[in-house]
Amino acid sequence: MTNFSQDELLKMYQLMVTIRRFEDRLYQLFLQGLVPGTLHQYQGQEAVAVGVCSALQPADIIFSTHRPVGHGVAKGMSLKSIAAEIMGKADGCAGGKGGQMHLTDVSVGMMPSNAIVGANIPIATGAAIGFMLRGEERVSISFFGDGAANIGAFHEGINLAAVKNAPVVFVCENNQYAASTHISLTMKIENVADRAESYGIPGVIVDGMDVMAVRETAEKAVERARRGGGPTLIEAKTYRFMGHSRGDPGKYRNEEELSEWRSRDPIPKYRAYLEAQGIDPLTLASLEESVDERIDEAVEHALAAPEPDASETYLNVYAERRK
C-alpha cells in the first residue's frame, strides 16, 4: 500500500492525462498549420516528468529539453502560457520569443528549457552549486534523453557535480532513440545508468512507464541530494509514441516494438493501479473531463491572443542593472 494521499495520487493522474491530451491537441493544431516551426512531443513519457516533479518541493527547479511540455505541465506551468508560447503569441510564457523548445516559468521552478542536447547538465549543476554555496536546501533537476549521454557536457557536468557533491539529480529519459538513431548504434553498454559508477555516484534504473516507480526512485534521489548526499543519475526506460519532431513518421521503428511499448502505456497502467486502490472510475472520468475543459480553454485563449508587437524583438537582449 502506498504512503500517498488520494489527492496526491489523483493529482499525478490528472497531470499525466493533461500532458497526453494537451500534446495530442497541440499536434492537431500543428497539422492545421497553427503552430509555427516544429514540435517535439512527449506522449509516452508522461510517467517520468510527473513521477520526478511530484517528488519535488515548489522551490526546487528543473531544467528541461527541446521536448519540454511534459516537464512544464508537471512542474505547474499554466496551459494557457504554454499554448500561447507554442503558437507564437504575446501572452505566451516568453512572449513568443522562446517558442516550443524554450518554455520558461521561473515562478514555478521551470527554468528556460534548452534545445542544445546535454547543455543543461552543467547548467543544472551550477544552479545546484549556487544553492549549496548559499546553504539553501533546494534541489536542481536536469532532464535529458539518451542522446545526451554521448555529448561532452554530460561527462563534464556530471563529473563536476559528483566532485562538488552538488544537490542535483540527473534524469535520463532513455526513449531508445536519438532522433532516428537507436541507442544500440551509439553505446556499447546497455544502460546509461551504468556510467554513474565511473563518476562515483549512484546510478539507478527505473521503469519509466510506471509513475509510482519513478516517483519513489526520484524521492530517494532528491532527498539524498537535499541532505547533502550528492547527485544521482536516474535512467528511466521509456518510449516516445510520436516521431522525434514534426513530419517524422518514425519508420525506423517496427510495428512490433511500437505495439509492445504501447501496451505499456503509462496512463492506462496507472489508471488500473488507481482503480485497484479503490478509486472510483467515475472520479477518474470526471477528472478527465475537467482536463479536456482546461485544454479547450487554454487553446481558445491562445488562438485568440494577439501576436507580439514587432518592437518586442529588441527587448530583453540585455538585462538592466539592478538599482
Partner 1 sequence: MSLGNTTEMTMAEALRDAMRLAMQEDPAVFLLGEDIGIKDGFGGGFTVTLGLSDEFGHERVMDTPLSEAAIIGAAVGAAMVGMRPIAEMQYGDFVFVGMDQVINQAAKMHYMSNGQVNVPMVLRLPVGASRRGAQHAQSTEAYWMHTPGLRVVCPSNPYDAKGLLYAAIKDENPVIFLEHKLLYGGKGRRKEKTSIDPIMEVPVDAYEVPLGTLKEVREGQDVTILANMMMVYRSLTAADSLAEEGIRAQVIDMRCLQPLDLDLLSEAVKKTNRVLIVEEDNLTAGWGAEIAARLGDEVFYYLDAPIKRLAAPDTPAPTAASLEEEYLPTTEKIIQAVKALLEGG
Q: Identify residues 292-321 at the interface with partner 1 (CB under 8 A).
A: 315-321
- The least CB distance from residue 115 to partner 1, in Å, is 8
* # chain residues binding partner 1, by CB under 8 A: 48
Which is nearer to partner 1, 70 or 122 (by Cβ)?
A: 122
> Whole-angstrom Cα distance, residue 56 to residue 211?
14
Q: Is 54 in the site for partner 1 (CB under 8 A)?
A: no
Q: Is 160 in the site for partner 1 (CB under 8 A)?
A: yes
- The least CB distance from residue 98 to partner 1, in Å, is 5
Q: Is 95 in the site for partner 1 (CB under 8 A)?
A: yes
Q: Is 64 in the site for partner 1 (CB under 8 A)?
A: no
The sign of the CA dihedral 263, 266, 269, 275 is negative
Q: Is 75 in the site for partner 1 (CB under 8 A)?
A: no
Q: Is 156 in the site for partner 1 (CB under 8 A)?
A: yes
Q: Is 127 in the site for partner 1 (CB under 8 A)?
A: yes
- The least CB distance from residue 111 to partner 1, in Å, is 6
Q: Is 130 in the site for partner 1 (CB under 8 A)?
A: yes
How many alpha carbons lie under 13 Å from residue 258 in its C-beta half-sphere? 11
- The least CB distance from residue 263 to partner 1, in Å, is 38
Residue type, 128: A
Partner residues linked to 105 by β-bridges? 110
Which is nearer to partner 1, 68 or 243 (by Cβ)?
A: 68
Q: Which residues contact 58 (CB under 8 A, 6 or more apart)?
A: 76, 108, 109
Q: Is 41 in the site for partner 1 (CB under 8 A)?
A: no
Q: Which of 94, 193, 284, 291 binds partner 1 (CB under 8 A)?
A: 94
Nearest to 144 by CA among 101, 173, 112, 180: 173
For binding to partner 1 (CB under 8 A), which residues are involved? 61, 63, 93-95, 97-98, 102, 104-106, 111-112, 114, 116, 119, 121-134, 140, 152-153, 155-157, 159-160, 163-164, 315-322
